[in-house]
Amino acid sequence: MKNLKDKNLFREAGLIGGEWVAAGSGRTIDVVDPATQVAIGTVPDMAGTEARAAIEAAASAYGSWKKKTNAERAGLLEAWHGLMLKHLDDLALILTTEQGKPLDEAKGEIRYGASFVKWFAEEARRINGHTIPSPTQDRRIIVLKEPVGVCGIITPWNFPNAMITRKVAPALAAGCTVVIKPSEFTPYSALALGVLAEQAGIPAGVINIVTGMPAEIGNEIMANETVRKISFTGSTHVGSLLMRGAADSVKRLSLELGGNAPFIIFDDADLDLAVEGALVSKFRNGGQTCVCANRILVQAGVYETFAAKLSARVNALTIGPGTQPGVAIGPMINMAAIEKINRHVEDALAKGAAIITEKPVLPEGRQYVAPMVLSGATTDMQLAGEETFGPVAPLFRFETEEEAIALANGTPYGLASYFYTENLKRAWRVGEALEFGMVGLNTGSVSMEVAPFGGVKLSGLGREGAQAGIEEYLEMKSFHMGGL
Ligand code: NAD
């Protein structure tokens, strides 16, 4: 790991009020490379005291950050964006080493993460209020947009760069200051972003980063009245816990939670396009994405053909460490992930599914799973009800459009959904019938900075990206001028 540690972007300390600091207790946690299970280094195991100090630092930076002109804040975000692209290779290497995804995908994530910084730098210049026609002649009414205040930003391990920039960029653009609690599995990507923010000239205290195990840090962020908003991406379980914890201090919340995406192939689909889309949607990041196809629903007339085409492509995927050229499937994040995937596959096999892909020789290391296609999946299987979060593509057979829609919507989650058809009328019918925050028609990807990203039902509250993304960090103030 010497190589990585030589890099200026690699920090093993938290960031509070512009100081790089250890935990008051002196405790640290190891950060492990999922490809080797060897510790890359340590980060401070901070707790409530450090979270409180970070919140205070964010509060004291807030007044002057909020007073900067929008153009000044935009300029600093532009500088941060430029540095992310300049250091793309180093950021990607840090990301792959702590998270496991193939290096090319990590580079894609850095570009995607940086795109939010650029987008919200531009949006900062367009935080426009509006005027309201007064019901009486002696009054004028205007609506001002103001920042929410100090925000708690809690992020997962599967996109350790982009899940931060998708929140921090709009927060900063709006005039908020932040305390980031990155996943304990992937803190180095967050800390590297902190180094670049400093280099960009973003003032001390505007971005604070508290590393460590989540419970005590989370409790402080939830309870502290100075924090006016929590933006969280992660599991539905932790999201609902944060919602309860934030209730006493009546904080605003954005919750980007789990999904259970259906991926529907109708018998009038372009099958080659559908196979490409399924590969992207299902196998990117080893299937560890909230928007990944969890249930692939295939109409009976094309079921066998689609299964054969997809299996051929899956058989050709290379498994190995993310830093190895040509690798498509890296290691899974940890052993708990492997156990869940194995449990889902064993349950499916016991209930009548069959693996129709070849069994590859897995590389050294315990955290690899063979990518596979399972035929004969049914709704009583665990993988139909929960996110598998791994490279397992279960194929469900359906006969009619009504059946497909009922199957697709038969989940309490509502994040992403996908369907393939060449029929225009069906495209509208199905697109409107799917109860999800995002629908992809003839595409396996639905995330980009220009469009609102988010879910309905158990998949969460609020939207990220697009124009909507900055509103999540703005309050409206009605300003009435009377006696005119
Ligand atoms: P997780 O919920 O276990 O952890 C997410 C974050 O919450 C981490 O930083 C973790 O340390 C923190 N956390 C855990 N317990 C906490 C507590 N008591 N108080 C405060 N913080 C706490 O999720 P994960 O395993 O890191 O990520 C995978 C999940 O994230 C999946 O369910 C996936 O679908 C979801 N996800 C959703 C989106 C989206 O945009 N909707 C994007 C990526 C991932």
Residue to substitute in 238, 411, 415 for testing ligand 1 pocket (most ligand atoms within 8 angstroms of CB): 238
- Mean of the pLDDT values across residues 284-308? 98
Summarised one tens digit per residue, pLDDT across range 171-219 is: 999 999 999 999 999 999 999 999 999 999 999 999 999 999 999 999 9
**Percent of the chain having pLDDT more than 70?**
99
Query: 170 falls in which pLDDT band (50, 70, 90)?
Result: very high
Summarised one tens digit per residue, pLDDT across range 20-32 is: 999 999 999 999 9
Summarised one tens digit per residue, pLDDT across range 324-334 is: 999 999 999 99
Q: What are phi and psi of 181, to 5 degrees?
A: -115, 100
251 CA from centroid of ligand 1 (Å):
19
**Percent of the chain having pLDDT more than 90?**
98
- Taking the mean position of all CA atoms in its chain, how far away is CA 278? 19
Asked if this assembly's ipTM is beyond 0.90, the reply is yes
Ligand 1: nearest atom to the Cα of 219: 19
3-class DSSP state of 108 = helix
Among protein residues, the one whose CA lies closest to atom 40 of ligand 1: 256
Q: How far apart are alpha carbons 35 and 96 in whole angstroms?
A: 9
Among protein residues, the one whose CA lies closest to atom 43 of ligand 1: 290
Does the pLDDT at position 410 exceed 90?
Answer: yes
Measured N-to-C along each axis, helices 187-200 and 70-86 cross at an angle, to the nearest 10 degrees, of 120
pLDDT value of residue 1: 52
Catalytic-residue membership of 256: yes
Spatial contact of 348 and 374, defined as CB atoms under 8 Å apart: yes
CA dihedral 64, 67, 70, 71 (to 10 degrees): -70
pLDDT value of residue 161: 98
Query: 466 falls in which pLDDT band (50, 70, 90)?
Result: very high
Query: 5 falls in which pLDDT band (50, 70, 90)?
Result: confident
Instruction: Report how far apart, in Å, the C-alpha atoms of 443 and of each of 77, 265, 272, 419, 439 are.
Output: 31, 11, 12, 8, 9
Ligand 1: nearest atom to the Cα of 213: 11
pLDDT value of residue 456: 98
Summarised one tens digit per residue, pLDDT across range 353-404 is: 999 999 999 998 889 999 999 999 999 999 999 999 999 999 999 999 999 9
Summarised one tens digit per residue, pLDDT across range 239-281 is: 999 999 999 999 999 999 999 999 999 999 999 999 999 999 9
235 CA from centroid of ligand 1 (Å):
4
Q: What is the mean pLDDT of the chain?
A: 97
Ligand 1, pocket residues at CB < 6 Å: 154-159, 163, 181, 183-184, 214-215, 218, 233-235, 238, 241, 256-259, 290, 387, 415, 455, 460
Does the pLDDT at position 2 exceed 70?
Answer: no
71 CA from centroid of ligand 1 (Å):
33
Q: What are phi and psi of 380, to 5 degrees?
A: -85, 0
Residue to substitute in 45, 183, 210, 221 for testing ligand 1 pocket (most ligand atoms within 8 angstroms of CB): 183
Return the structure tokens found at 204: 């001390």
Return the structure tokens found at 58: 């964010």
287 CA from centroid of ligand 1 (Å):
16
pTM of the predicted structure, to 2 decimals: 0.97
Catalytic residue among 105, 109, 256, 464: 256
Ligand 1: nearest atom to the Cα of 183: 9
155 CA from centroid of ligand 1 (Å):
6
Give the closest residue to 167 by CA, choosing from 193, 195, 196, 203.
193
Q: How far apart are alpha carbons 98 and 228 in whole angstroms?
A: 31
Ligand 1: nearest atom to the Cα of 455: 41
Does the pLDDT at position 151 exceed 60?
Answer: yes
